[in-house]
A and B are shown apart, each in its own frame.
Chain A
Amino acid sequence: MIAGLKHKVAATVACMTAAGVAFADADLDRAMKDPGNWASQAGDEYNQRYSSLDQIKAGNVDKLQVAWTFSTGVLRGHEGSPLVIGDMMYIHSPFPNNVYAVDLNTQQIVWKHTPKQDAAVIAQMCCDTVNRGLAYGDGKVFLQRADSVLEALDAKTGKVVWSATNGDPKLGAVNTNAPHVFGDKVITGISGGEWGVRGYISAYDIKSGKMVWRGYSTGPDNEMLIDPAKTMTWMDGKMQAVGKDSSLQTWQGDQWKIGGGTTWGWYSYDRAENLLYYGTGNPSTWNPTQRPGDNRWSMSIWARNLDTGAVKWVYQMTPHDEWDFDGINEMILADIDVKGQKHKALVHFDRNGFGYTLDRVTGELLVAEKYDPAVNWATHVDMKSGRPQVVAQYSTEQNGPDVNSKGICPAALGTKDQQPAAFHPKTGLFYVPTNHVCMDYEPFEVEYTAGQPYVGATLAMYPAPNSHGGMGNFVAWDAGQGKIVWSKPEQFSVWSGALTTAGDVIFYGTLEGYLKAVSLKDGKELWKFKTPSGIIGNVFTYLHKGKQYVGVYSGIGGWAGIGMAAGLEKDSDGLGAVGGYRDLQKFTNLGGSLTVFAIP
């Protein structure tokens, strides 16, 4: 039955493009309603990464076997996950951002898209040439290329329907984020905080590719789409209007123009409120003494009207960043009990080590607690002002330039980076892949040069001292109380996104390459399988012909050493199994790979 339904969805893809829908994208809506699909990167608009599929469950997950694999033919880090709509799977790769549409009936390539991008872009990417995946809607697949070009591809043929240039890569404005389809808009952000890019988020019309609005993270009110009298923020224990020049007042001179606040994370959308949620990254430079002030609105959580970009509320987590604690991590929407009261909540695990729970309608701050006990740079978040209370010993600002501040927890990569957490509606808890790493941090003076890295700090890192000796944890978090429910130690930082399922299993990947299934109840390990490389991608699941599959990318980047080789077949075998793309042979041997599992 479900397989039949999926067939129908796939068949309607081509003729849906003409359907005039006011706000919602009917095509994507239909695809998302079928739990057999994985139609968006998080599986839904709430970023919950929860699947209602339950064939694979705690009682049988240890029977999982490899069902099929696919090598992307590209080295470098593989983040995000494929999408599944009907019988088609859409697979992406790091730079040069190749896209493959694979027929799940035959596992053959139906079309491929190989963008021609200037290799000079690679040098403009601070943190490996990753790409966090595709979006789907209106019969199109959306690719946010590294060189900032946003492309809409016909889902049936792979032909480019429209493309839009979202930034200037020569100035370091590049992209790693996945585009997100909400309503009739394609939302995309920008990277380049380390290059002094002034961050923004943009909405493109899903049909024409025309930019509908763009909201900056810093600068004059009108460019941020902030209304000084209407945009609210948390001040003195209540929501208040931000007032005039709320950003300009917090920067010295023109520094906001190169102020960072980039937007490369995972966005979410509340349809009832018509609000888009996302976070902004670190202010440039990393040397805090060079940019006095709170540096608004870097390091903030934003709620914008999807149609106009108007900011309803904004909350800055880390005013005047001294540690590179970008605020871009995913915003998870869930309706949960918070301290005894039901809330339409937004939950966010920040790099700064605090797990935040806000009322997503009003923007009120409800909970801000450490989700790793090792966090020491601040004692707590003052709930009245909403500001973290910085410990002088760990303040790179107070210690000054050319002083090595030692033992700061977490390290610059944060207690969690972009690797997304998941929510399970049954427990009401969040399952969080984390880093358990501390650092020594020494800022130094840097000059800004357009198109050049603008960092200004040297760092040393190590596993959190006086703990289990490992560099990561997988944590179950009660966002209503701000408490860790259980924590499973990991040898390495967990840089893979989690998946929860109705089968009461949680999946995540590890740097060793293990895909792990753990019990929803207590985190007990139920099954693991070592894929050919480390996992920094996100686990996803789908149904094909009535059978549940679970898959994940592996590929960490770096050189291909032991256990890194994904396609171990001889050169002469090439990609024979996945269609007649013989020209791919020579570079499919050591690429990152997708491994898909099922119960035989």
Chain B
Amino acid sequence: MANRMALIAGAVAATSLLAGAVLPAWAGEDYPTRERVEYVLGCMRDREGPQQELLYKCSCVIDKIAEQMSYEEFTKDATTSNALSIGGERGEVMRAYVDGRRLARELRAVEKEARKACFLD
């Protein structure tokens, strides 16, 4: 479902920056439905706008992300990114984690590009 909706949204966003990229064979296939739905719902509730339109745009974004990084990479980057803001010693471990900020930046860059390609801002 999510894939099909994203295809529609993707067709609208024909000038997608990502469209021309050569995609690895696994692209997008390993993201569980639960993860995509959770992402879409989270994305929709963070924004104002017609629900149906947001559904298309947010679905498009997670599908674009899935084309760019494996689910394992996405999970690792998202976990790191979230953990950077934990209070206290545990957060300190993550903030001082040499690769931590790089992983968080990586994810933010991919998301930014995906949003642009899906008319979402």
Give chain A's interface residues, CB within 8 Å of chain B. Answer: 76-77, 125-129, 411-413, 417, 435, 437, 439, 459-463, 471, 491-493, 495, 511-513, 530, 532-534, 536, 556-559, 561-565, 568, 570, 589
Contact = CB atoms under 8 A, between A and B. Distances in A.
Given A563-B38, A565-B42, A413 B93 contact: yes
Interface stretch (B5-13, B14-22, B75-83, B112-120): B75-83
A498 to B, nearest CB: 17
24 contacts: A76-B87, A77-B87, A125-B88, A127-B87, A127-B90, A128-B91, A129-B87, A413-B92, A437-B93, A439-B96, A459-B92, A461-B92, A462-B97, A462-B99, A491-B79, A492-B83, A513-B79, A556-B82, A557-B91, A558-B85, A561-B82, A562-B107, A563-B42, A563-B82
Given A411-B93, A461-B97, A570-B45, A559 B82 contact: yes
B78 A563 contact: yes
B38 A532 contact: yes
B2 interface: no
Contacts of A125: 87-88
A218 B98 CA distance: 37
Given A412-B89, A561-B85, A565-B45, 7 more contacts: A417-B89, A471-B93, A530-B32, A534-B82, A558-B83, A558-B85, A559-B82
A563 B76 CA distance: 12
Contacts of A491: 76, 79
A42 B26 CA distance: 43
A127 B92 CA distance: 9
A534 B87 contact: no
B83 A126 contact: no
Contacts of A533: 82
A409 to B, nearest CB: 13
Contact of B90 (A129, A413, A589): A413
B88 A126 contact: yes
Contacts of B93: 411, 413, 435, 437, 461, 471, 493
A299 to B, nearest CB: 17
Interface string B93-107: 100111100000001
A476 to B, nearest CB: 24
Contacts of A493: 90, 93
A559 B87 CA distance: 10
Nearest to A568: B41
B90 A568 contact: no
- Across the A-B interface, give the 10 residue pairs with the lowest CB-CB distance, nearest first: A127-B88, A558-B85, A128-B87, A461-B96, A128-B88, A558-B86, A568-B41, A559-B85, A512-B79, A462-B98
B35 interface: yes
Contacts of B35: 530, 563
A558 B79 CA distance: 11
Main secondary structure of the interface of A (DSSP, over half): loop
B84 interface: yes
Contacts of A511: 79, 83
Interface of B: 32, 34-35, 38-39, 41-42, 45, 75-76, 78-79, 81-93, 96-99, 107
Contact of A536 (B32, B79, B84, B90): B90
A471 B87 contact: no
A460 B86 contact: no
Contacts of A417: 89-90
Contacts of A461: 92-93, 96-97
A437 B92 CA distance: 12
Given A411-B93, A471-B97, A562 B86 contact: no
B29 to A, nearest CB: 17
A492 B78 CA distance: 12
B111 to A, nearest CB: 8
B86 A557 contact: yes
A4 B84 CA distance: 47
B49 to A, nearest CB: 14
Nearest to A511: B79
A315 B65 CA distance: 53
Contact of A460 (B38, B41, B90, B96): B96
B81 to A, nearest CB: 6
A512 B75 contact: yes
B54 to A, nearest CB: 12
Contacts of B83: 492, 511, 534, 556, 558
Nearest to B96: A461
B92 A492 contact: no
Contacts of A558: 82-87, 91
A484 B116 CA distance: 50
A427 B34 CA distance: 36
Contacts of B96: 439, 459-462
Nearest to A176: B88
Contacts of A530: 32, 34-35, 75
Contacts of B79: 491-492, 511-513, 534, 563
B82 A564 contact: yes
Contacts of A512: 75-76, 79
B77 to A, nearest CB: 9
A492 B35 CA distance: 20
Contacts of A413: 89-90, 92-93
